[in-house]
Structure 1
Amino acid sequence: MWNTYLILVVLMLTLTLLPKIQNSHWIFRVPEFGKIQITYFIFITFIFGLFIDSSKILWYSQGLLVILFIHHGITLIKYTPIYPVKKYPRQSKSSQKIHFISANVYQFNTEYSRFIKIIERDNPEIFLTMESNGDWEKALRILEKNYPYQHKVTLENTYGMHFYSKFEIKEAKTHYFVADDIPSIEIHLTTKDGFSFVFFGVHPPPPSPTEEETSKERDGDLLSTAKRVTEIHKPVIVVGDFNNVAWSKSSILFRKTSHLIDPRIGRDFVSTFHAKYRLLRFPIDLMFHSEDIFIEKLTTLENFGSDHLPVYCEFFIDHHNDEQEKRIETATSEEKNEAEEMIQEGKEENGDRDAVVTED
């Protein structure tokens, strides 16, 4: 029992310390994703230690586990309803309620009808699909009657992206910030009651042993989006499969340099991946918004055959309520320089992706 306990303590300590090392290799970045699970395992290991014969070394290690638990808990509690964040009701001068669905559909998922039923049932004004290729584009044509405005980036490399809207698209751009096969979309919209806003869809590559060796392209792409957001003087939402978690250094840098708000704070983790394994589910489909946008609801919907759960959001726009400005954190000059360096590193990184990807 003692050896098992000691191995668990060392493992929990290692997984906690690895992300502190500022190295972009996936070995150092992947443990950031499992902070929720690591915290649970720290607690379980502590309980396990209570059943081991008492010794001086045991209580030192138990004390270490308490410190690790508090360390993770200080971060995670911000993403729960326990953390105090004021909620703002919709006023007469606000826009009508707007709904959107964002979903990484998984390119090789052929259960198109299950996703279409979700869209028809929840009837959002806008929705975004990621990993959508030519087959997905054909399958979704049935929805185009109700969604007459579209912006499509059809790719077969798992980085395709399709946007559908009931609102008129005033302007649409596809950015390739760090690589010519990783698109981000920028959509300027006007609601039926006359409110303008900009919707960004992002899907950078993840650092992992099976995909990109480092997080350089991911971080460079996200921080390039943040830089672009600061050039826009309209309400902004950035949505997508970030392949990142909200508490990572690059996500915090994204939030600070973009001057956007993380709606998960004071609300919920909204974990989306992996859809089939609840205990190994991470919140990597993120969203951020400007201070004029107020989130009423943010949740996941049911699995439709993808490896990601779709994200459902209800929000409104209010130009007359300035209270959310207090939630905006701004980057220091040092952080801005660091962001520029990460953008440049992302552009210089040569990602190993095929033009057409087949399922393993």
Structure 2
Amino acid sequence: MRRGLAIAAGAGLALLGAASLLPLLETDAWWVRYLDFPRMQFAGLIVLFWIAMVALGGIGHGAARWLTVLAIAALSYHGWRLWPYQPLAQVAAPMTESCAPGDRISVLVANLRRDNRDAEAVLALLRDAEPDLFLAMETGPWWDEALAPLGETYPEIVQHVPKDATHYGMHLYSKLPLERVEFRFPFASDTPMLFADVLHPAARLRFIGLHPRPPLAPDQPTTLRDATLLLAGREAWATPLPAIVAGDLNAAPWERTARRMLRLGGLVDPRAGRGPMPSFDAQSAWMKWPLDTVLWRPGPGLMAFEILPEVGSDHLPVRAELCLTGGATQHPPAPYPGDAEEAEATFAAARRLGGSDG
């Protein structure tokens, strides 16, 4: 019995080790890239399976030795990927100690989930949080009508309400004037990217909202998602204005494309040095990772970044408050040689897949 359990633990350890290292492959295959999400869970399970295998003591020494090497390799890789998002790592955006109220801007991001019908929870959250900008995703005709009362508070409302792909509707509600507003569909995707200039009294800002498709099916590789993230980074870098990038990225921040997006855009991630702060899955006790976020180019200082209570969706809302008159020195990840070339290769692959120039 003990030997059988030890062998089962060893087999589980082998599978976890292989699953942990598979994303090292340069591939857009959805099932490989999806393995980037549960790195925290994989790391914890590897430790538990290794302890079980050793404690049961029923597996040959040679096999146990090689499985231990595999476990160390997998844990090392997880540690390298997860390190920037642990509390012992360098904080990318130190808190700004003081800021005049008129120099602040707050942004709230929420994937509402298209079949969620708890509009009152969303409206109550907004009454409590009072953000200057509210980016709502997975909206459709029902949400367009349910959120209509926000028009009393948010004079600027822009929306994309698709007739078919209702997973990917998007609304932006703003207390501040907006200019140069446009929805783009890069690489012929059906997932909108929103671009808008926000006219805050303290500064003019460039806002980029996005919600690419996740890797979830054989006909849904990561190509378009990766290209969308990298495009957001490139656009953030190109604008002469302070840039804010917000949305449901459908990529964990430690995933290689997400990190490349930060480097290309010179973007600050408020989670770096603070912990993963998961926003998905709100309805799971342990399969959780951060997907929803607010990022920005260094310049604005950070006053607050928080995960808010659930509103009936499988995503938790995220709120950031920034000080537009600046703050402490911030630390976006340094660019790598070849980042621009890798991004161009991803754009080319997305154009071939989507049939668009992007």
* Structure 1 length-normalised TM: 0.89
Aligned to 2:232: 225
Displacement of 1:47: 2.1
Partner secondary structure for residue 222 of structure 1: helix
Aligned to 1:330: 335
User: Which of 233, 239, 255 is the aligned partner of 1:248?
Assistant: 255
Unaligned residue ranges in structure 1 (runs of 5+): 352-360
What letter corresponds to residue 350 of structure 2 in structure 1? G
Deviations 1:67-106 (A, max 9, x none): 4223312332321222232724245689633222101111
Distance 1:267 1:322 in 2: 16
1:269 aligns with 2:276: yes
User: Which of 231, 236, 243 is the aligned partner of 1:236?
Assistant: 243
What letter corresponds to residue 169 of structure 1 in structure 2? L
Give the direction of change, closer, same or farther, for the CA distance of 1:92–1:265 in structure 2 (3 Å limit).
closer
Aligned to 1:45: 49
1:159 aligns with 2:168: yes
Figure out how many residues of one structure are paired with residues of the other and give that number: 346
Displacement of 1:323: 2.5
Distance 1:318 1:94 in 2: 11
Distance 2:139 2:283 in 1: 20
Partner secondary structure for residue 128 of structure 1: strand
Displacement of 1:37: 0.8
The percent identity for this pair of structures is: 24
Displacement of 1:328: 4.3
Aligned to 2:199: 190
User: Which of 204, 207, 210 is the aligned partner of 1:202?
Assistant: 210
Distance 1:290 1:275 in 2: 28
Distance 1:11 1:94 in 2: 53
Distance 1:118 1:92 in 2: 24
1:296 aligns with 2:296: no
Distance 1:92 1:108 in 2: 39
| C-alpha contact (below 8 Å) 1:95/1:317 kept by paired residues | no
| C-alpha contact (below 8 Å) 1:245/1:286 kept by paired residues | no
Aligned to 1:6: 10
* Structure 2 length-normalised TM: 0.90
Displacement of 1:145: 0.8
Displacement of 1:292: 0.7
Partner secondary structure for residue 323 of structure 2: strand
Partner secondary structure for residue 310 of structure 2: coil
Displacement of 1:107: 0.9
Distance 1:84 1:250 in 2: 20
Displacement of 1:338: 1.4
Distance 2:77 2:345 in 1: 29
User: Which of 172, 182, 185 is the aligned partner of 2:181?
Assistant: 172
Distance 1:166 1:116 in 2: 15
Aligned to 2:289: 282
Partner secondary structure for residue 198 of structure 1: strand
Aligned to 2:90: 84
Distance 2:333 2:81 in 1: 17
Give the direction of change, closer, same or farther, for the CA distance of 1:301–1:254 in structure 2 (3 Å limit).
same
Aligned to 2:113: 106
| C-alpha contact (below 8 Å) 1:263/1:289 kept by paired residues | no
Aligned to 2:346: 342
| C-alpha contact (below 8 Å) 2:266/2:332 kept by paired residues | no
1:74 aligns with 2:74: no
Give the direction of change, closer, same or farther, for the CA distance of 1:92–1:14 in structure 2 (3 Å limit).
closer
Partner secondary structure for residue 56 of structure 2: coil
Displacement of 1:195: 1.9
1:19 aligns with 2:23: yes
User: Which of 307, 311, 327 is the aligned partner of 2:318?
Assistant: 311
| C-alpha contact (below 8 Å) 2:94/2:329 kept by paired residues | no
Structural RMSD (CA) = 2.1
Distance 1:316 1:113 in 2: 30
Unaligned residue ranges in structure 2 (runs of 5+): none
What letter corresponds to residue 27 of structure 1 in structure 2? W
Displacement of 1:213: 2.9
Displacement of 1:350: 4.2
Displacement of 1:314: 1.8
